[in-house]
A and B are shown apart, each in its own frame.
Chain A
Amino acid sequence: MYRYDDFDRQLLAERTAQFRDQVARRISGELTEDQFKPLRLMNGVYLQLHAYMLRVAVPYGTMNGEQMRKLGYIARTYDKGYGHFTTRQNIQYNWPKLNEIPDALADLATVEMHAIQTSGNCIRNTTTDQYAGAAADEIEDPRPYCELIRQWSTFHPEFTYLPRKFKIAVTGSPNDRAAVRVHDIGLRMHKNDAGETGFEVIVGGGLGRTPFVGKTVRDFIGKNDLFSYLEAILRVYNRFGRRDNKYKARIKILVHEVGVDEIRRLVEEEWSKIRDGSLRVSDDEIAQYIAQFAPPAFEELQANDPEFERRKQAHPDFAAWVRSNVIAHKQPGYAIANISLKPIGGIPGDATADQMELVGDLADQYSFGDVRVTHEQNLVLPHVKKADLFALWAELNSALLATANLGFVTDIIACPGLDYCALATARSIPLSQRISERFGDLERQYDIGELKIKISGCINACGHHHVGHIGILGLDKRGKEFYQITLGGDASQDASIGKIAGAGFSEAEVVDAIEALITRYIDIRTVGERFIDTYRRVGMDPFKEVLYGDR
């Protein structure tokens, strides 16, 4: 398993000490809020409606059991006993006291965790496939490249004051689970005609108030050239990105305004100057990074475990969970176990201190100490023996962590919304809870099939509503919450931005509207069609009709 090096350790210690000093100077009045705000943001500290918020990075969503337990400890010690896992594969705490945050950061540093690059106009934490290193459909583990990106970008002197924040996502599998097409840069691993592994480079995707699916600037870049190529893109962005207007400062606007061909020309020109320079990464170096993420010591097992099959027969609840939450592993006899943080009627992405500590323990016991955070606000134990799945399920079940709804209608993404967020225009969580309750029955969910509902509490789109099969955006209409529905969004390899169905719905109407859409889908779907497939076949009109009739 990968470890921070001494450089990181020292850097973290310095950063924490520095922040402790800055907090003390703010509290004594030596620093004004204007002076302090950029400093706290650099350390992941926001001010929300009710309190401060601390955002802690989980680099590319990978943690060990000890780190997970520490997140639980932080929740109990410095917060009110829970935390919120986000679409950025991070965790947010909602109630930390400013004068205690340096202690929390010091505690996190003991397990090599931190809040760096969770805020500000820098290259943010790189996100990736939550099944990295485990998925049966993966070409190669993407995390060594994520780690290289982390090292290249952390405190990169040229890139700490970019025109705006910058997000990179990487997938090592053709089935994109990291939404790479809606990031500033998306990297999709694939093989070229010569059989070499490299990346398609996608630029200018993004959500927020102006959503775009990214454009391919290069079909294939070899691994050795990846970093000089990324550097070239960042330089072009740094030079031409619009600093005059916050809303036009993301690279997606640049790509949209000047066109991908011109961006490609600029990037290639810049790259030709630096491609043979110090950023070229040798095969040996890459091999070192790959070694840091070497697979755990898997046992040689039969693909099928008779005891596992017998348990499924005997326990329908377990069988249901296996069917929806367990995914094929590349190693025979192993499986990937998803832990849903979407109990029926619960708060998407929230986990209690006890739950986090339990998951940390279960990771140690059943998954080689490896646990992941997904951008869909769930957790994953990536390497579980099939023979252990039943015992694991029983423990998860007793902690309300075994909801069998992965990818189904109640597996909803929701941002904190107006219940916590200072920027929100409406609440998102209560709506997700009501939808979850409406469709809570498992048989009904399985009948509906894969359906991704994503809810944001304002136009910033932290809840990814633009790429929900059904997206919901909460707005404020003359002091009342109301909800705009988009259809046809998709975050996968077939990425698309949803289209607005029409006028918004009141809080009272919106759940019925969602149900009407789903009922229409069931009426008109053909065999094997998911909601998104039906929508793509029939278009908006049949759905509009049930929402608005002749209106």
Chain B
Amino acid sequence: MSLQVVTANRLDDGLAVFMTADDGWSTDLRDAVCAEDAPQAEALMARADTEKQQVTVVGPYLIDVAQEDGVLVPTKYREVLRTLGPSVRTDLGYQAG
């Protein structure tokens, strides 16, 4: 199985976020906590999908990621775009820095 992390959109501003080891959320995928197998992924989802988390984020789900040169990157292009911003507006979103 590929490595997985939990992503969601933040409730207040809607931005893409990734779950961290302390059950918090970061806008940077590199801060995310990784699941290495299915039971771990399930456990992560259980921590993400609670009533308490609902006050912070919307719609948590698992995505596949890979280690590339020591950093986590999503495998699917859709999720790559969520870590960057629109490819047609590189002045906007996380990619704008």
Interface residues of chain A, those whose CB is within 8 Å of chain B, are 26-29, 32-33, 47-52, 80, 94-99, 347, 418-420, 424, 427, 429-430, 433, 479-481
* Residue numbers in A under 8 Å from B58 (CB-CB): 33, 47
* Residue numbers in B under 8 Å from A50 (CB-CB): 14-16, 81-82, 85-86, 93
Q: In the bound complex, do residue A419 and residue B12 qualify as a contact, i.e. CB atoms below 8 Å apart?
A: no
Partner of B14 from the list A27, A47, A430 (CB cut-off 8 Å) is A47
* Residue numbers in A under 8 Å from B40 (CB-CB): none
* Residue numbers in A under 8 Å from B77 (CB-CB): 418, 479-481
Q: How big is chain B's contact interface, by range?
A: 20 to 34
A96 nearest in chain B by CB position: B14
* A84: min CB distance to chain B, Å: 11
Q: B62-79 vs A: 1/0 string, CB under 8 Å?
A: 000000000000011110
State A499–B87 Cα separation when bound (angstroms): 30
* Residue numbers in B under 8 Å from A418 (CB-CB): 77-78, 81
Partner of B76 from the list A427, A433, A479 (CB cut-off 8 Å) is A479
Q: In the bound complex, do residue A27 and residue B11 qualify as a contact, i.e. CB atoms below 8 Å apart?
A: yes
* Residue numbers in A under 8 Å from B93 (CB-CB): 50
Q: Which of B51, B76, B86, B87 has the most CB of A within 10 A?
A: B86
State A65–B19 Cα separation when bound (angstroms): 45
Known: A29-B54, A50-B14, A97-B12. 18 other contacts (CB 8 A): A27-B11, A28-B55, A29-B51, A29-B55, A48-B14, A49-B78, A50-B82, A52-B13, A96-B14, A97-B13, A99-B12, A99-B13, A418-B77, A418-B78, A418-B81, A427-B87, A429-B88, A480-B77
B20 within 8 A of A: no
Q: In the bound complex, do residue B76 and residue A49 qualify as a contact, i.e. CB atoms below 8 Å apart?
A: no
Q: In the bound complex, do residue A47 and residue B59 qualify as a contact, i.e. CB atoms below 8 Å apart?
A: yes
State A47–B9 Cα separation when bound (angstroms): 8
* Residue numbers in A under 8 Å from B11 (CB-CB): 26-27, 98
B38 within 8 A of A: no
Q: In the bound complex, do residue B54 and residue A49 qualify as a contact, i.e. CB atoms below 8 Å apart?
A: no
Contact A430 to B87, CB < 8 A, known contacts A47-B9, A418-B81, A479-B75: yes
State A98–B81 Cα separation when bound (angstroms): 21
A-B contact pairs, 26 of them (CB 8 A): A27-B12, A32-B54, A33-B54, A33-B59, A47-B9, A47-B58, A47-B59, A50-B16, A50-B85, A51-B14, A97-B13, A97-B14, A98-B14, A347-B89, A418-B81, A419-B87, A419-B88, A419-B89, A424-B78, A429-B88, A430-B88, A433-B88, A479-B75, A479-B77, A480-B77, A481-B77
